Structure 1
């Protein structure tokens, strides 16, 4: 047993559970360097139990697969603890890359055993990376949009996030609305995204969203679109003339997480909110884990 309460790896802080598994500098590197891209808010971490409950609460609100998110968290905690013990016992140096590789291998084995991977795959197969948001090529700017709809109250939320080639947030909005169908919310989200881009005087934009039906209609003007969105498509094609270059890209929901969360935020809070380059605190962690090389918030 160590007779010194300080961390045996960094030597700078008391060796609490929270420090050992989350806040120690090398553990921070594991969390950020892995697929989670997670950057803990140190001042908000009091106990491990409270932290896990907060992660579970956020994952249930912002993810369609909270079970996978929590299993990912648990495998990271266990992998960090095992690597830390090995380093301390052998008087070695922690290697975040080695820890991440072990975590990915263990997580892949669990996914395979639980039936979430094709059982014909080799046991050592690690699941393909989850699709993430990709920065545009300069000078283009990406505008991600999404909608959330309540089929009982018909209340809706629209999420818009504008980011440049560095991944920096330029502007965004969570807009409360009222629509008769989910496809109408999605179409209105594109309109709001174009209006925001025009207000910012951006010339080259890429509009991204995860509604396949809508983006098929946007990229095929000669097709017969859903009658519910015909008038909104007319608005879109009118707004297109305000830009030098414009593209419409469909992306899976995993690559549209910030807009999705912003839309749910508007519907859940029952209010609208616009922001410039500083998004709401609840969205910052998603922005930072969106597959970018570093914190993307200006």
Structure 2
């Protein structure tokens, strides 16, 4: 800051003991707390004379992309911690610094997963498409209400667009959007199975869910647990595939999920849908004519 004419004290504002430099601020300062990060980097004896050289020396530490994502986010979190003290005179707990870095690295990894999935799967069908004569199409959707509850909806249609089964219901919520979508898919598939349907294509607007189901990727998270349950149920069907669809192609399931707030229990309709949703069924048919 002294170099930039923003002060007359060149000492580190965090420890107040050494001259502030990028290397000291982000690595050497006791307040940097690298030893407490998940990376467990040892910084007590640093031979490099610059921050750039120190980073280059770490190149051989790991080739894992997630390691580097966490590495850069720890640096960013330390920088934010320093600024919070300099400009707001507020200390940031070490645990918060580490957790912020960890959350940011997970968000980065998730964004990269979504990007690569989007390249593989595309943006999803914009309009509802008829299934083949041999299969039925199941559209599922979830809505998280202001109360925290999750509404879910599902509809099964044949190649002519006729509704075979429709359902909706609510469960106690507090879930993230992707977990809610996975939960909706699990609940709807159970209804479909109980209805005796065995050959299906399942569609969802949740790109992450479809990608995990296609690749059979199971994480040790609430979302991963639901993906595992769905894959287990899927194995019981004679044939099943998963497809991503845009919101315009999922309006019937979405409006069934919205309608669930009107009911206290799960509702199932055979060979019809409630009148509040009929317009969207007809609209889908008009678009594919």
Task: Tell me, yes or no, if structure 1 residue 162 matches structure 2 residue 144.
Answer: no
* 8 A contact 1:148–1:267 mirrored in 2: no
* 8 A contact 2:199–2:239 mirrored in 1: yes
Give runs of aligned pairs for residues 133-282 of structure 1, distance below 5 A: 133-150=128-145, 152-181=146-175, 182-222=177-217, 225=219, 227-267=221-261, 269=263, 271-282=265-276
**Secondary structure, in 3 states, of the residue corresponding to 1:291?**
helix
**Secondary structure, in 3 states, of the residue corresponding to 1:189?**
helix
Give runs of aligned pairs for residues 116-131 of structure 1, distance below 5 A: 131=126
CA 275–225 in structure 1, closer or farther in 2 if over 3 Å, else same: same
User: Aligned partners of 1:209 and 1:215: how far apart in 2?
Assistant: 7
Question: What is the aligned-residue RMSD (CA, Å)?
Answer: 2.2
**Secondary structure, in 3 states, of the residue corresponding to 1:207?**
strand
Note the alpha carbon deviations across 1:234-280, whole angstroms, 9 max, x for none: 21111112111110101000000000000011135555321111210
* 8 A contact 1:147–1:186 mirrored in 2: yes
The offset of 1:292, in angstroms, is 4.0
User: Aligned partners of 2:132 and 2:286: how far apart in 1?
Assistant: 14
* Runs of 4+ deviating beyond 3 Å: 268-272, 291-295
* 8 A contact 2:219–2:225 mirrored in 1: no
- Number of aligned positions between the proteins: 164
Give runs of aligned pairs for residues 76-155 of structure 1, distance below 5 A: 131-150=126-145, 152-155=146-149
The offset of 1:131, in angstroms, is 2.6
The offset of 1:193, in angstroms, is 2.3
CA 249–293 in structure 1, closer or farther in 2 if over 3 Å, else same: closer
Note the alpha carbon deviations across 1:92-127, whole angstroms, 9 max, x for none: xxxxxxxxxxxxxxxxxxxxxxxxxxxxxxxxxxxx
What stretches of structure 2 of length at least 5 have no aligned partner? 1-124
What stretches of structure 1 of length at least 5 have no aligned partner? 1-129
User: Aligned partners of 1:244 and 1:140: how far apart in 2?
Assistant: 10
With the length of structure 1 as denominator, give the TM-score of the two structures: 0.51
With the length of structure 2 as denominator, give the TM-score of the two structures: 0.53
**Larger Rg over CA atoms:** 2
Aligned twin of 2:31: none
